[in-house]
Amino acid sequence: MTGAALLALISLGTVGGAHLLSRARWTWRTPRTGIALWQALGLCWGIATIGALLGLALLPYQSGVLRGLPGLYDDQAALLNPVQVAALLAAISLTGVLLVMLMYAVVRVVRARRRHRALLALVSRSDSAVPGTLVLDHPGAAAYCVPGVRSSKVVVSAGTLELLDEDELAAVVAHERAHARERHDLVLLPFASLRQVFPQFRLVARCLDAVELLIEMAADDRARSGRAPRDLATALLRFAAARPAAAPSGTLGVASHADIPVMARVNRLLEPEPLPRRTRFAAMVAVPIIAGLPLFLLVIPH
């Protein structure tokens, strides 16, 4: 009972932690650490919630979650009362829904990218101004990447070539290549699928928005490496003023998401505030603890 109760408390604690982290601003100063915290928190919630339900269901076996599963299989759940049967079914259902929705999100994104790559092969062209980048003959401002396992494509519009100067354009392309290199699309997938599972919960949407912002900031940091931060900051402002359309499904755009506060990104580029080492170290230590604690409670007998 103790293990199941602790897992339930951890599950509730992750909800409170998500609420606090979604409003935190210190993560803007170290976006990669913030992304790792979000991933650990999401993993912790899933394992703790499913583990708490299984722990309740396996109480008659008095040996914890993982050690109780063989006993459940041997006696065909004969020892379970109606509440424990309901908890077992809830654990199985939640696990199935989370996995199915994640796979659905993966399949949907892969299909969208395949279609977009086929379209790019027909309508895009190369340009010496942006080597290694595809150009679309469209007057509007657009810049995004199409991530891929074997190859990623960075796409800009003709309108972007006219909107930005050479240094600004280089910064934008570097931003998009950072998305592709660090596979930020894979970071977003679990949170996007979670929003599909719980569309009615505002907190889930706020979590996704927070992760999207941190991903953009992480790409900003990579893009400004070796170049003046003002180049990317000015490019972001120009994009915001041009009101670009949303990036195509399955892609990541430099400034095409209306809910991402561009000024927050511009301000941190122009006036960076490094996070104190102690705070950063504490956050990095918290990541494996948050992710590993529910796993530990699943394994130990109780």
- What residue type is 38 in one-letter code? W
pLDDT in tens, 167-214: 999 999 999 999 999 999 999 999 999 998 898 899 999 999 999 999
- The pLDDT of 134-144, averaged and rounded, is 90
- The pLDDT of 122-148, averaged and rounded, is 88
- Return the pLDDT at 255: 64
Q: How many domains does the chain have?
A: 1
Which residue in 141, 140, 143 sits closest to 177, CA to CA? 143
Q: Is the Cβ–Cβ distance between 84 and 95 less than 8 Å?
A: no
202 within domain boundaries: yes
Q: How would you write 38-50 as a 3-class SS string?
A: HHHHHHHHHHHHH
252 within domain boundaries: yes
- Please list, residue by residue across 110-131, b when 16 or more beta carbons sit within 10 angstroms of its beta carbon and e when fewer do: eeebeebbeebeeebeeeeebe
- The pLDDT of 37-54, averaged and rounded, is 94
pLDDT of 259 > 60? The answer is no
- What residue type is 205 in one-letter code? A
- The confidence band for 150, taking pLDDT boundaries of 50, 70 and 90, is confident
Q: Which domain holds residue 155?
A: 126-271
Q: Which residue has the higher pLDDT, 258 or 33?
A: 33
- Return the pLDDT at 76: 63
- Return the pLDDT at 257: 53
98 within domain boundaries: no
Residue 177 CB neighbour total at 10 angstroms: 18
Residues in the chain: 302
CA gap 189, 109 in Å, rounded: 9
- Return the pLDDT at 74: 66
CA gap 64, 59 in Å, rounded: 8
3-state secondary structure of 6: helix
- The confidence band for 260, taking pLDDT boundaries of 50, 70 and 90, is low
CA gap 198, 18 in Å, rounded: 15
- Return the pLDDT at 77: 60
33 within domain boundaries: no
Beta bridge partners of 146: 153
Sheet with 124-126, edge to edge strand ranges:
124-126, 134-136, 153-157, 143-146, 252-253
Whole-number average pLDDT of the chain: 87
300 within domain boundaries: no
- The confidence band for 97, taking pLDDT boundaries of 50, 70 and 90, is very high
250 within domain boundaries: yes
Residue 287 CB neighbour total at 10 angstroms: 17
pLDDT in tens, 55-74: 888 877 777 677 767 666 66
- Return the pLDDT at 252: 74
9 within domain boundaries: no
239 within domain boundaries: yes
